[in-house]
Structure 1
Amino acid sequence: MSLNWWWARSVGVVRGEHPDGHAAVSAESFQGVALVVGSTGIVGASLVDILPLPDTPGGPWKVYALSRRPLPSWHPPSPSSVTHIHVDLTDSAAVAEALTPLTDITHVFYVAFFRATMSLNWWWARSVGAVREHPDGQAAVSEESFLGVALVVGSTGIVGASLVDILPLPDTPGGPWKVYALSRRPLPPWHPPSPSSVTHLHVDLTDSAAVAEALTPLTDITHVFYVALSQQTTDAKNREVNSAMLRNVLAVVIANCPALVHVSLQTGTKHYLGSDEDMGKIPTPDPPYTEAMPRRDSPVFYYDQEDILFDEVSRRGGAVTWSVLRPNHIFGFSPRSLFNIVCTLCVYAAICRKEGAKLRWPGSLACWEAFSNASDADLIAEQHIWAAVAPVAKNQAFNCSNGDLHSWKMLWPILAERFGLEWSGYDGEEKQFKAADAMAGKEAVWAEIVRENGLVETRLGDVAHWWLIDIAAYELGVSWTLLHSVNKSKEHGFLGFRDTVKSFNTWIDRMKAYKIVP
């Protein structure tokens, strides 16, 4: 109790009480022997100053000051009771060699940290994509240097393509990454070559034997990013097929990958709205949608996928964590995705230009004016990586969107400008039409556009899916609303965002650069 004065003082012990520094103490007199790990850090330096003082509680102290680098030459000499030791804490053999002889240690003060952990806050908080910050692409990494080994399931999809772009970048958290990119079909021949750290594998995920044959040898996988989707014609088939695909992958990886630590599953906002057949028919919760909302009484295959995920990772007794990401409608680019509304809109605009027509809004006033969230594909990929490596994100579900609002009333003039078109917005019910009807039979027109503009050889059905426009034009804001909250992600430390207008333009730029659209 007599030491209350020591704990209660208002000035530092070094500054106010001992201006002349440390008193010499004989080796026989030491009461405490401290190992200060991180002794040149901001707190470690204070510990090394204070512990040797003559009235420091628990002393007199002998101090082993452990740091990665020696003190700078300008630093004043330490007292004789302090011994400086320099070692790389990530090197287990070097640590053992340095510390094994120090058998007299009575107290450890561990104040070290890996600096990169904190400096990566900028990575999670950026407003532009990781790929755009690395215009020269990926740096080569030796096989021995990989820290993370990712299996990206659905690698040619709209988010899978972004993951395969971002994971190999030199500053991606958790890396350097080795990537197994799993897809049903190979990349098209026009796609640029992947870096040496990416291996492409092609397998039908509904074929359990083929999945086992492809994945069983990949025993070094540490993280799974499951972003695959198979769109079926009924809710029952969606549940059956998508559940089987996920189960086929996880059954192999969970059993055969001893280094596996995390599985990240992507679902979507349908989690809050109900299944395709129920959407708009059952009451929906008031937006914004939050992750705490209960499941709907509806056969949504996302629920089945979550249950499969929880069941499979539980087989590893807590050694494997999970995350679920729920993006909104996605703006991005993929050579193989059915769900690319930006590409479909660009093709629609290109056909209008070819035929000398206005870019007409096909749908309702409500959908023209309704506000919604969008999710940039690169942003989703970055949040997948964050959820996989940030301890606070483990075993959690997160919404994922750009963080702002947009309407088609905002984006339609931008699309028209990018293709040099006049445009018209909502123009009365009598002038409404379905994009699928208006664009029927345009295959020859598209073929001529491709030929005249030297574009990549594609069929109209490969690059345009008119039902995406019709859903946006007739359902959004009428049958359901796409507004969800990303507060939970921010509270847990993911601060990334996108300006949706800039995102929309970015993906138009990407498709023009790849010569998919003129």
Structure 2
Amino acid sequence: MSTQVVQSRGIFHGLPVFPENVKGLTAVITGANGISGQHMLRVLLQSPERWMKIICISRRLPFMKDGAVPGVVEHIALDFLDTPQAIANVLRERGVKADYVFFFSYVQVDPEPGAPIWSNAQELCRVNTLLLSNFLESLALNSIKPRRFMLQTGAKHYGGQFGSNLAPQEESDPRVLLEPNFYYDQEDCLWAYCKKHDIKWNVIRPAFILGAVPDAAMNVCFPLAVYASVRRHLGQPLDFPYDLTAWDMSVTQSSALLNSYLEEWAVLTDGAANEAFNASDDGIFTWSKFWPLLASWYGLDYIRPDDEGKYKDLILPHNPPPRGYGPPGKIRYRFSLTEWAKQPEVTQAWKDIAQQNDLSVKELHDVDRIFGFTDFAMSVSWPGASLSMAKARKLGWHGYVDSNESVREVLLDFEKLGMIPHAPALAQSGAPANTASSLTEGYAPEWLELEKTLGTRPLLTGTVEEMQGQFAALSALLSASQTPPDDTIESKDETADGIPVRIYKPKDAARTKLPIVVYYHGGGFVLGNLDTEDAWCRYLAKTTPSIVVSVDYRLGPKFKMPVMLEDSLTAFKWVYANAETLGGTKSRIFTAGTSAGGGLALLVTDALIQEGKNSHVKGVITAVPITAHPLSIPEEYKSQYTSYEKNGSGVPVADASTLNTFFEAAGCKYDDPMTFVTLSQNLSQFPPTYISTCGKDPLRDDGRVLEAMLKREGVKTKSDNYIGQPHCFWLFPNVNGEEFLANVVKGAQWVVLNSE
């Protein structure tokens, strides 16, 4: 029997966990500014230790949410329609090497006027095969030999665009030769090249790709958002243009992020070498279930197909269809989105919407190409895109995402890009109505009011670099709402054996020997500094009262665990050695921290116990601490550890995807007791410990499980839980943070009292 470890990242589940020795790799992503290339970049950036360098080749720089290009990313501007020698010269000048290549380059040639977007099949073959062959030849000219070359094609491989084909579509299905297909030409080109140069390959075939990038072409979601936004603007219901058969047809969707996770898995899996794989969300998507959901997001009524209504019939030319028997494909429609988008009333409405909302897309352009893709996705009345995932599953792939949830996140991303107007119900709807929970249900009313004021739900998402930008912006916003620093607390920056610290002390502290609190800030081991929790440290020093020493430990992704713990322990030992000089006493030193800092406060305590220095730390004060990894929860506590899943997607501030990105960037090993204190063998020796948790936090059960483990060992504990509140809610204004602050002070005082 074999065992696999999988993980979740936000709404994406069953994702692979790779061996720790898979690291230091170089990837080349071509077509890096397209929908698939940009999402591939996002996935690789989640694992900076694994992907040491990422070379993005595209005519334009890939879009970065905060405008900053991460240090591991190098962009090379190239046009693959140039000669192989010209391409090779640039690659040679830039010193390009490649362990793995992800090829997404694509050119959509213009169709004949009024014809479908893929009608110019011969020219599509010529241009797109040339893109690939020119690049492959340039690699050979430079003796660049990747371990694996991944080519992404698509579900048109199976001929569903021509009418009924074999269903479900399997990778071994025969080619459909009714018309030229550049996917076949590209495959033949790649296979010949790989055979000649002894290189392994993969071909990945997604269906309708869901994702948000500034170039909206070939994207199902953007036209849907435009359609719903204009309908709302004009006071019209959301009318489904196609017939009842298309309405009920199950259609495969392929989320760009999940495709990218699959592509990373394929190239890094030995058993997947030299194989083609379908790529899908691996669920059932129908317009009949999705259309009411879309209408609710935009506050619209909707109109179902009326099978007695007047429909136009479009009969496809291939008789018999691709499967070789039965009638030709037939599309029944009352209107198409492409026709609709060209109406003067619609074009003017979009101009008004764009102006009112300061959108980047000022006018609807390239309508045939952009809206034609969504028309095809909505009109199919045969199972032409029903991709089987059996082959990948048999080899160990288990990725899954709910396509409805994926569309919602894509639409929110388009909002963030400034391409579509804000739809409040979309941001507040959370999980779709047919999932287990709603992301507004159970929240504290004051938090929901804050979200209405902000106009959004604050959440750190994306790569570490993107989160750093989001964190800086959020910190600036919160700082603006804070009162000036308390002048009854003096502060001084110092170094503790090389570790930067800030010492806070009540001005009248000289009259007595105060307790000392060694404090560690939050930020998932990759964010934060001495300034981010300055106001909180001042408050703690004043109200406990105590001397607070805040520690500026080194952060990921530049540094990896256990560096953060080592810095934290070094600072504690410096405080212990200098306690009297600081105005305190060695007999009353405590550790404290928030989130990752709360985890460090516990880990420092554990490390001191291992060194036989139990008496050096008298108690621990933690707020929403990181104490556990969902992959290594002790068996007897697994049933109690549900928050990582229940609060895993779309919750404010930090969800499971945020935490997974932090863990990967900081080099956190799921089975390492020097990272997750619930794996410690020393819990019975812990001093009194205070723990606060939040009901809408994926880390809620980190605190609860730790408290249960400590209590079982006879350790004194005290805890507070804030029902309906998210991670670190008290940092935001007008959300009843005063109660939290008062309770933490009481908790700290309880720890001090019980340590004596």
TM range (shorter): 0.5 to 0.7
Q: How many Å separate the matches in 2 of 1:414 and 1:490?
A: 30
Cα offsets for 1:191-243 (capped at 9, x unmatched): 63331111222322222255334333343111110112222331100110110
1-structure distance, mates of 2:12, 2:48: 13
CA shift in 2, pair 1:403/1:126, >3 Å: farther
Partner of 2:356: 452
- Contact 2:38 2:63 (C-alpha < 8 Å) held by counterparts: no
| TM superposition shift of 1:167 | 0.7
Q: CA deviation at 1:400?
A: 1.1
Look up the match of 2:285. Answer: 406
Aligned twin of 2:656: none
Q: 1:300 corresponds to which letter in structure 2? A: N
The alpha carbon displacement at 1:485 in A equals 0.8
Distance (Å, rounded) in 2 between the aligned partners of 1:162 and 1:120: 25
Q: Secondary structure at the match of 2:365?
A: helix
Is 1:152 aligned to residue 32 of structure 2? Answer: no
Cα gap change, 1:126 to 1:170, in 2 (>3 Å)? closer
| CA distance, structure 2, for counterparts of residue 407 and residue 177 of structure 1 | 40
Q: Distance in 1 between matches of 2:214 and 2:81?
A: 21
Q: Secondary structure of the equivalent of 2:53?
A: strand
Structure 2 unaligned segments of length 5 or more: list them: 17-21, 112-119, 312-333, 422-756
8 Å contact from structure 1 (residues 126, 496) kept in 2 = no
Correspondent of 2:202 among 294, 307, 323: 323
Letter in 1 for 2:188: D
In structure 1, what is the equivalent of residue 69 of structure 2?
Answer: 194
- Residue 238 of structure 1 aligns with an amino acid whose one-letter code is L
Relative to structure 1, is the Cα distance of residues 487 and 445 closer, same or farther in structure 2, using a 3 angstrom cutoff? same
Q: Does structure 2 retain, via aligned residues, the 8 Å contact 1:203–1:211?
A: yes
C-alpha separation in 2, matches of 1:457 and 1:477: 32
Q: Is the 8 A contact 1:146 1:178 kept in 2?
A: no
TM-aligned CA distance change 1:194 to 1:414, over 3 Å: farther
Q: 1:216 to 1:314 in 2, by over 3 A?
A: farther
- Give deviations 1:69-127, integer Å, cap 9, x for gaps: xxxxxxxxxxxxxxxxxxxxxxxxxxxxxxxxxxxxxxxxxxxxxxxxx998425x767
Residue identity opposite 1:307 in structure 2? D
Change (3 A) 1:199 1:439: same
Matched, 1:387 2:250: no
Deviations 1:125-154 (A, max 9, x none): 767349x99xxxxxxxxxxx9721111111
**Partner-residue secondary structure (3-state), 1:461:** coil
Matched, 1:297 2:177: yes
Q: Which residue of 2 aligns with 1:347?
A: 226
CA shift digits 1:240-291 (9 cap, x unpaired): 01100011111112442545211001111111116x6xx12xx622x11111
In 2: Cα distance, 1:334 partner to 1:256 partner: 32
For 1:163 and 1:190, the matched residues in 2 are separated by 15
Specify which of 13, 34, 39 is matched with residue 162 of structure 1. 39
Residue equivalent to 1:73: none
1:369 aligns with 2:248: yes
Of residues 389, 395, 404, the one that matches 1:492 is 395
SS at match of 2:310: helix
Structure-2 residue corresponding to 1:128: 11
How many angstroms apart in 1 are the aligned matches of 2:66 and 2:165? 41
For residues 19-418 of structure 1, what are the structure 2 equivalents within 5 Å?
121-123=5-7, 128-129=11-12, 147-170=24-47, 175-187=50-62, 192-208=67-83, 210-217=86-93, 218-232=95-109, 233=111, 234-258=120-144, 260-273=146-159, 279-280=162-163, 284-285=165-166, 287-298=167-178, 299-316=180-197, 318=198, 320-418=199-297
- 1:216 is paired with a residue whose SS is helix
Tell me the alpha carbon deviations over residues 138-179 of structure 1, each in whole angstroms, 9 at most, x when there is no partner.
xxxxxxx9721111111121111111111122367xx13311
Q: How many percent of aligned residue pairs carry the same amino acid?
A: 28
d(CA) in 2 for partners of 1:119 and 1:219?
A: 38
Contact 1:127 1:497 in 2 (8 A): no
Residue in structure 1 matched with residue 381 of structure 2 by the alignment: 477
Query: In structure 1, the residue corresponding to 2:45 is in which secondary structure?
Result: coil
Of the structure 1 ranges 179-188 and 324-333, higher mean CA displacement relative to structure 2 is found in 179-188
**CA–CA distance in structure 2, aligned partners of residues 119 and 333 of structure 1:** 35
Counterparts in 2 of 1:181 and 1:356: CA distance versus 1, 3 Å: same
Alignment CA distance shift 1:262-1:187 (3 Å)? closer
SS at match of 1:516: coil
Specify the alignment match of 1:90 in structure 2: none
Contact 2:220 2:377 in 1 (8 A): no
Give, as a single letter, the amino acid of the residue that structure 2 aligns with 1:273: G
Q: How many equivalent residue pairs?
A: 376
**CA 1:146–1:199 in structure 2 vs 1: closer, same or farther (change >3 Å)?**
farther
Which structure carries more relative contact order (alpha carbon 8 Å, separation 6+)? 1
Distance 1:219 1:496 in 2: 32
The reply to whether residue 424 of structure 1 matches residue 329 of structure 2 is: no
Which TM-score applies when normalising by structure 2? 0.47
> Is 1:468 the counterpart of 2:373 in the alignment?
yes
Instruction: Give yes or no for contact 1:371–1:477 (8 Å, CA) kept in 2.
Output: no
For 2:338, which of 436, 453, 459 is the aligned residue?
436
SS in 1 for 2:27: strand
Q: Distance in 2 between matches of 1:325 and 1:189?
A: 25
Conserved? CA contact 1:254–1:260, under 8 Å:
no
When residues 188 and 444 of structure 1 are mapped into structure 2, their CA distance, relative to the original with a 3 A threshold, is farther
Q: CA deviation at 1:502?
A: 1.1
Cα pair distance change 1:257/1:151, threshold 3 Å: farther
CA contact (8 A) 1:168 1:177 kept: no
Q: Following TM superposition, by how much is the alpha carbon of 1:509 offset from its aligned partner in structure 2, in angstroms?
A: 1.6
SS at match of 1:414: helix
SS in 1 for 2:56: strand
Q: Would the alpha carbon gap of residues 438 and 258 (structure 1) be closer, same or farther in structure 2, given more than 3 Å must change? A: closer
* Partners of 2:3 and 2:54 in 1: CA distance: 24
Q: Distance in 2 between matches of 1:187 and 1:461?
A: 21
Instruction: Tell me which residue corresponds to 1:44.
Output: none
Does the CA contact (< 8 Å) of 1:367 and 1:472 recur in 2? no
Query: 1 CA distance for matches of 2:67 and 2:3?
Result: 32
Query: How far 1:188 moved relative to its partner?
Result: 6.1
Contact 1:151 1:180 in 2 (8 A): yes
Change (3 A) 1:501 1:490: same
Gaps of 5+ in 1: 1-117, 134-144
